[in-house]
Amino acid sequence: MSASLLAPLRTLPVRAIGVAARLGGSGGAPACTGLRTYCQRMSQLSGLVFRQLFEPVSCTYTYLLADVKTKEAVLIDPVLETAERDAQLVKELGLKLKYAANTHCHADHITGTGLLKKMLPGCKSIISKHSGAKADITIDEGDTIKFGKFYLDSLSTPGHTDGCLTFVLNDKSMAFTGDALLIRGCGRTDFQQGSPNKLYQSIHQKIFTLPGECLVYPAHDYTGSTVSTVDEEKRLNPRLILKEKEFVYVMNNLNLPKPDQIDFAVPANLMCGVQDK
pLDDT digits (tens), the chain, 277 positions:
433 333 333 333 333 334 334 443 333 345 676 666 555 444 456 899 999 999 999 999 999 999 999 999 999 999 999 999 999 999 999 999 999 999 999 877 889 999 999 999 999 999 999 998 999 999 999 999 999 999 999 999 999 999 999 999 999 999 999 999 999 999 999 988 999 999 999 999 999 999 999 999 999 998 999 999 999 999 999 999 999 999 999 999 998 877 667 676 777 767 765 444 4
3-state SS, residue 45: coil
At residue 236, the pLDDT reads 98
Is the separation of the CB atoms in 233 and 183 below 8 Å?
Answer: yes
- Closest to 177 measured CA to CA, from 186, 167, 187: 167
- Closest to 67 measured CA to CA, from 51, 46, 88, 83: 46
The model's pTM is 0.86
Largest CA distance in the chain: 56
| Cα–Cα distance list, 102 to 43, 60, 109, 261 (Å) | 21, 12, 12, 17
Is the separation of the CB atoms in 155 and 136 below 8 Å?
Answer: no
Q: What are the chain's domains? A: 20-253+262-269 (3.60.15.10)
pLDDT tens across 129-138, in order?
A: 999 899 999 9
Is the separation of the CB atoms in 122 and 136 below 8 Å?
Answer: no
